[in-house]
Amino acid sequence: MTAISQTAQRAKRVARIYRDMREQTGNPFSALYYVARLITQRLPVAARQARSVARHKADVQKIMDMRTKAGNQMPFLGIKFTGGLGDALVVARFLRDLSAHVGGFDFDIYCSQSGRAQWVFGAVEGLRDCYDDLLFDFTLSDYDLAARVNQFVTFYENSARWTHLRSHPKLVEAACNAIRFRPTIEPFIENHPYMDSYLAQKAVYANRNRADFLHSMVGIPYGGDRLNLPVTAGMAERHGLTPGRYVTIHNGFDPDFFTASGQATKCYPHFGAVVALLRQKRPDLRFVQIGVATSQPLDNVDLNLIDQTSLKEAAGLIGGALLHVDNEGGLVHLARCLGVDSCVVFGPTPSNYFGYAGNVNIDPTFCGGCWWNNKTWMDQCPRGFQTARCMTEQSPQSVAVAIDRHLSGKAASRQAIQDKPRLVRPITGTVWSAEQALPDQADTGHNAKWASHVTTR
């Protein structure tokens, strides 16, 4: 595919977005405004990609040189990855487990955020380099095996060097498993990401979730949530915090995901009230807000570090936290990679697909699950409500009591480990789905009460 044809494809995509927005809003001016904002946000990315295309011949030669250095001992894979931080972490664990299963391989990553990719995929043995995703079509035939990975994994069988791969039968078997699996999800692949919600349902009914669905496609075991990421050491001490005595909290979303309003439907708006309630119950804890420009500053936190940390530094803070509190998003996956539990308020995205056992996964009391129901699900409620009621109607009392109970359970488990270590059973993840309030709090007229229904995942 030439640079001209790729540009033409992107122009068609912008035109389709305009038509979709005009149909959804009924207002051509609103649709034009949305597209103009989208183009403005994407201009720096487009400029970077243009520079990449201009030097693509040099990059292709570099890839060929690296292949020569690698020799014939180890397969060389080209992986195109799309998505945010959470997707990157899920894909990194998949590549880690695939490599362990097949006996190892070297690989390059193609994506839109090469700096972040270097950090994430550098935790997987075999990473050679990261390139702009626009170069992938120019170079995929130079690899022994090329794949596109996000919610699914697809291998480019026509460009694969099967003769060389014969000496790596487990890798061939894994690729063939994915190739055979593809017809069962072809409609979802062809319409990605607009049918991702239905693909998630298919995964759930196959007893899979976001963490291990890719593994099931290629037929390999899941190696666990932990990922050996490099983090900045001493972040808690740098900010006067005691490891294990503070909670990190985040209420933003991926800045690479465009919304015309600058806000997102999956962001929980009441975390400030949650912190105020928890302070009454847990005065010994400190609350630290982290995130980037898409986050909204919260009242009642002890430390506001919005836009003041790198991703590696944020990971250092999360790694020392007692708990991470968030909307569903990339930092929840990051916390899990670091072995830290999270309390996650779900709304548009499904907890049975994105949730981790061991976390507190709070489902909406109204509606929810509209993830990719339409193209603007992150911008506005697909049902036309003024707010995303799946999030706005989740009471801060219910979130606070879920956190309090989880922390009490962790404390009890630690004590039990000290007293009777062989009798301790691990805490499982829970989904809270009823109006709740902290004990000893006055009824404010909303019939506040303890949770009457808890489903153990």
342-357: pLDDT as tens digits: 999 999 999 999 999 9
Q: What is the pLDDT of residue 36?
A: 76
> Across residues 438-455, what is the average pLDDT?
38
**123-132: which pairs have CB atoms within 8 A and are 24 or more residues apart?**
123/92, 123/96, 123/227, 123/228, 123/229, 123/230, 124/92, 124/95, 124/96, 124/99, 125/96, 125/99, 126/74, 126/95, 126/99, 128/66, 128/76, 129/62, 129/66, 131/52, 131/59, 132/48, 132/49, 132/52
Say which residues have a Cβ less than 8 Å from residue 207's Cβ, sequence separation at least 6.
none
What's the rounded Cα separation, in Å, for the pair 338 and 235? Answer: 14
Residue of 17, 10, 46 whose CA lies nearest to 33: 17
Model confidence, pTM: 0.83
> Across residues 241-251, what is the average pLDDT?
97
Q: What is the mean pLDDT of the chain?
A: 86
> Across residues 106-133, what is the average pLDDT?
95
184-231: pLDDT as tens digits: 999 999 999 999 999 999 999 999 999 999 999 999 999 999 999 999
> Across residues 28-39, what is the average pLDDT?
72
Say which residues have a Cβ less than 8 Å from residue 131's Cβ, sequence separation at least 6.
52, 59, 108, 109, 110, 114, 139
Is pLDDT above 60 for 317? yes
Q: Is 135:56 a contact under the CB 8 Å cutoff?
A: yes
Q: What is the pLDDT of residue 314?
A: 98
Give the dihedral sign, CA 218/222/225/230.
negative
Q: Is 240:279 a contact under the CB 8 Å cutoff?
A: no
If residue 440 lies in a helix (H) or strand (E), which one and from where to where?
none
Q: What is the pLDDT of residue 440?
A: 44
How many alpha carbons fall within 13 Å on the CB side of residue 137?
8
Using DSSP's 3-state secondary structure scheme, residue 77 falls into: strand
- Give percent of the chain above pLDDT 90: 67
Q: What is the pLDDT of residue 445?
A: 38
Q: What's the distance, Cα to Cα, between the start and end of the chain in Å?
A: 46
Give the tokens for residue 175.
């690729």
Is pLDDT above 60 for 436? no
Helices (H), 55-161: 56-70, 85-102, 114-121, 136-139
Is pLDDT above 80 for 368? yes
**Most confident stretch, 10-14, 31-35, 157-161:** 157-161
Residue 135 has what DSSP assignment? G
- Give percent of the chain above pLDDT 70: 81
Binned at pLDDT 50, 70 and 90, residue 452 comes out as very low
> Across residues 394-405, what is the average pLDDT?
98
Q: What is the pLDDT of residue 3?
A: 52
